[in-house]
Structure 1
Amino acid sequence: MSKESTPDAAAAARHARYGRLPERIRFEDMTEEIEAGPSDAKDAYDPEGSWKYYSCLALDLGL
């Protein structure tokens, strides 16, 4: 038994709208190159001040 498809108006409208894939986007259009500047001293690692950013779940929950 062969199944014959009889497209109705809704199916034809869906196929007209979604029947094909969108246009491809080139990789060059998805990326942007910018010049990286020198890093500031504020971005440097400070072992003496690293305790300020310590996070502990037990302390956060008050345990």
Structure 2
Amino acid sequence: MNEELTGDAAAAAARHARYGRLPERIRFEEMTQGVEAGPSDGMRASHDPNGAWKHYSCLALDLGL
């Protein structure tokens, strides 16, 4: 019985040594990155009615219902 307690205590000590404290706090400024946006070339934002079916997803259509 005493062996189990020392084993549990050793495991608890090892666990506490590894996970005992939280990592350092990261500031919001370090998590974000500013990127300058360029003018749009129009091709990416334009709507193509003939190619719109490529981006349409419907489970009933996929299953043939």
Normalised by the length of structure 1, the TM-score is: 0.64
CA distance in 1, matches of 2:62, 2:17: 56
CA distance in 2, matches of 1:11, 1:36: 51
1:51 aligns with 2:58: no
For 1:23, what is the secondary structure of its paired residue? coil
Amino acid at match of 2:43: K
For 2:50, what is the secondary structure of its paired residue? helix
Counterpart of 2:21 in structure 1 is 20
Higher helix share: 2
CA distance in 2, matches of 1:50, 1:57: 21
Gaps of 5+ in 2: 1-7
Count of residues in correspondence between the two structures: 55
